């Protein structure tokens, strides 16, 4: 549908969990009844004031929301163009946006009487957030993490264990985030009666993409209010990095109907978006397919076999993308670009040096795109990027790439 024929971009998904042709419920029969009961529970919670009152209380007192909206003055000056703001979700408890969503899902799980929580994790941020909230509520927590990621995100593995979670290194397939998600789904099918699957991004079968988006939308809601306060108007451009797409959907969603706001999602370009597939840019380098319960753009070969992505950032290393992004891409409401490992590393260092903020490698991708476009824009153009995570977890990876010996 042409963009100007749509009244609102905020009404999706439809009753079948579709955003246009994307989304859906592509799961085995064993899981279908659970997904339907989760949907019913969420539909009820959505309009239940006591649910949101509990969320608001914990967001404020446990997570530390609202996160600041910060004018990056030296970066703005250095780039010499657009005025750059950062939404500081890296200041949240546990260091990333992931906990916004985890709180919502765990409160739902408690309402449903589930006693065991499982999660998949890539960078480990979603795993840490889940382990954290489970510790707070005394719930059993099991986190599936690709064996390769266990190695490159070792500090987060230890954090999860300190928080009482069981971390299961996944060796099936190629031992990455998508395989961790497969094993989490296998666990769920096996333990359907007592287990709640807390998905970390806007992917999976309906209602997950919509539910996770709604929990993350606090990012965009706050940004809107804070920007009105700081500038008396909306930003011209908003930018976020995309793994599965939850921090991006969270920032974008409240702005979808504000037609003057340019929306840009940044995928991980790895070594460059080429035919060798050494990247994770599902929209730029993939085509529609069905994986992990939904139809969306995927990295796949000619025979419909899923390909591994490649990125320096474990949190972006996923061959798919949330279905709502696929839809926004096809209707043209949002634009999607890619940033390479090298560009992200440069942005990482610049942010440390100019702003005193050590960003995670994921938002470093968003920042790298800001660095590309800000110099070409006038000084009254306002850009807001989502600083969705802090870089503590990444310093070992970055040190390796910069040739710095971390052994003390």
Ligand X SMILES: Cc1ncc(COP(=O)(O)O)c(C=O)c1O
**CB-based burial of residue 408 (10 Å sphere; 0-12 exposed, 13-18 middle, 19+ buried)?**
exposed
φ/ψ region of 246 (left if φ > 0, alpha if ψ in -120 to 50, else beta) reads alpha
Written in H, E and C, the secondary structure of 210-266 is HHHHHHHCHHHHHHHHHHHHHHCCCCCEEEEEECCCHHHHHHHHHHCCCCCCEEEEE
Residue 196: phi, psi to the nearest 5?
A: -115, 130
The one segment of 162-170, 239-247, 252-260, 271-279 that binds ligand X by CB under 6 A? 239-247
Q: How far is the CB of 49 from ligand X (least distance, A)?
A: 28
Q: How far is the CB of 43 from another protein (least distance, A)?
A: 16
Q: Which residues pair with 339 in a beta bridge?
A: 268
What does the alpha-carbon distance between residue 288 and residue 291 come to, in Å, rounded to a whole number? 10
Contact residues for another protein, defined by CB under 8 A: 16, 24-34, 172-173, 178-179, 182, 185-186, 189-193, 289-293, 295, 298, 300, 302-306
Single residue of 23, 209, 245, 289 touching ligand X by CB under 6 A? 245
From the list ligand X, another protein, none, partner contacted by residue 61 (C-beta under 5 to 8 A by kind): none
From the list ligand X, another protein, none, partner contacted by residue 379 (C-beta under 5 to 8 A by kind): none
Q: How far is the CB of 316 from ligand X (least distance, A)?
A: 6
From the list another protein, ligand X, none, partner contacted by residue 243 (C-beta under 5 to 8 A by kind): ligand X
Task: Compare residues 123 and 298 and give the one whose CB is closer to another protein.
Answer: 298
What does the alpha-carbon distance between residue 262 and residue 335 come to, in Å, rounded to a whole number? 8
How many CB atoms are located within 10 Å of the residue 48 CB? Answer: 12
* By the rule CB under 6 A, 143 interacts with ligand X: no
**Residues 313, 368: contact at Cβ < 8 Å?**
no
* By the rule CB under 6 A, 130 interacts with ligand X: no
For the chain, helix, strand, coil in percent to 5 are 45, 20, 35
**Residues 309, 321: contact at Cβ < 8 Å?**
no
Q: How far is the CB of 139 from ligand X (least distance, A)?
A: 21
Task: Compare residues 275 and 303 and give the one whose CB is closer to another protein.
Answer: 303
Residue 82: phi, psi to the nearest 5?
A: -60, 155
Single residue of 67, 105, 201, 226 touching ligand X by CB under 6 A? 201
Task: Compare residues 50 and 190 and give the one whose CB is closer to another protein.
Answer: 190
Task: Compare residues 31 and 242 and give the one whose CB is closer to ligand X.
Answer: 242
Q: Are strands 195-197 and 116-121 parallel, antiparallel or unpaired?
A: parallel
The one segment of 131-139, 164-172, 217-225, 240-248 that binds ligand X by CB under 6 A? 240-248
* By the rule CB under 6 A, 246 interacts with ligand X: yes
Q: How far is the CB of 127 from another protein (least distance, A)?
A: 19
Task: Compare residues 242 and 273 and give the one whose CB is closer to ligand X.
Answer: 242
Q: Which residues pair with 287 in a beta bridge?
A: 298
Single residue of 105, 362, 364, 383 touching ligand X by CB under 6 A? 362
Q: Using CB under 6 A, which residues numbered 301 to 320 contact ligand X?
A: 315-316
Q: Which residues pair with 84 in a beta bridge?
A: 383
Q: How far is the CB of 321 from another protein (least distance, A)?
A: 15
Q: Token pair of 239, please?
A: 């930018």
* By the rule CB under 6 A, 226 interacts with ligand X: no
**Residues 385, 240: contact at Cβ < 8 Å?**
yes
Q: Contact residues for ligand X (CB under 6 A)?
A: 96, 122-123, 125-126, 201, 241-248, 315-316, 360, 362, 388-389
């Amino acid at each position: 549908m042409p963009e100007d024929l749509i009244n609102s971009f905020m009404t999706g998904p439809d009753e079948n969990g579709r955003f246009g042709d994307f989304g859906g419920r592509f799961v085995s029969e064993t899981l279908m009844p659970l997904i339907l009961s989760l949907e019913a529970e969420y539909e009820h919670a959505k309009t239940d004031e006591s649910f949101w009152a509990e969320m608001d209380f914990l967001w404020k007192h446990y997570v530390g929301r609202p996160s600041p909206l910060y004018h990056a003055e030296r970066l703005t000056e250095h780039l010499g163009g657009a005025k750059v703001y950062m939404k500081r979700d890296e200041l949240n408890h546990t260091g990333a946006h992931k906990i916004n969503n985890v709180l919502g899902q765990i409160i739902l799980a408690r309402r449903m009487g589930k006693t065991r929580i499982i999660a998949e994790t890539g960078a480990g941020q979603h795993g840490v957030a889940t382990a954290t909230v489970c510790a707070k509520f005394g719930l059993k927590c099991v986190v599936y993490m690709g064996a390769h990621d266990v190695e490159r995100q070792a500090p987060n593995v230890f954090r999860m264990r300190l928080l009482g979670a069981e971390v299961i290194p996944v060796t099936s397939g190629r031992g990455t985030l998508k395989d961790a998600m497969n094993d989490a789904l296998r666990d769920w099918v096996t333990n359907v009666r007592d287990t709640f699957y807390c998905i970390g991004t806007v992917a999976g079968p309906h209602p997950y993409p919509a539910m996770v988006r709604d929990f993350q939308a606090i990012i965009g809601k706050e940004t809107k209010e804070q920007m009105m306060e700081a500038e008396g108007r909306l930003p011209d451009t908003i930018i976020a990095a995309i793994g599965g797409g939850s921090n991006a959907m969270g920032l974008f969603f409240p702005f979808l109907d504000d037609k003057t706001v340019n929306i840009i999602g940044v995928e991980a370009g790895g070594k460059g978006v080429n035919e060798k597939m050494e990247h994770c840019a599902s929209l730029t380098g993939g085509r529609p397919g069905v994986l992990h319960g939904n139809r969306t753009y995927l990295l796949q070969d000619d025979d419909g076999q899923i390909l591994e992505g490649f990125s320096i950032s474990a949190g972006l290393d996923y061959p798919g993308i949330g279905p709502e992004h696929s839809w926004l891409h096809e209707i043209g409401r949002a634009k999607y670009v890619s940033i390479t490992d090298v560009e992200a590393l440069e942005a990482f260092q610049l942010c440390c040096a100019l702003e005193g903020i050590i960003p995670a490698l994921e938002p470093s991708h968003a920042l790298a795109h800001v660095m590309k476009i800000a110099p070409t824009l006038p000084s009254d153009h306002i850009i807001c990027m989502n600083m969705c995570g802090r870089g503590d977890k990444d310093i070992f990876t970055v040190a390796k790439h910069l040739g710095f010996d971390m052994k003390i």
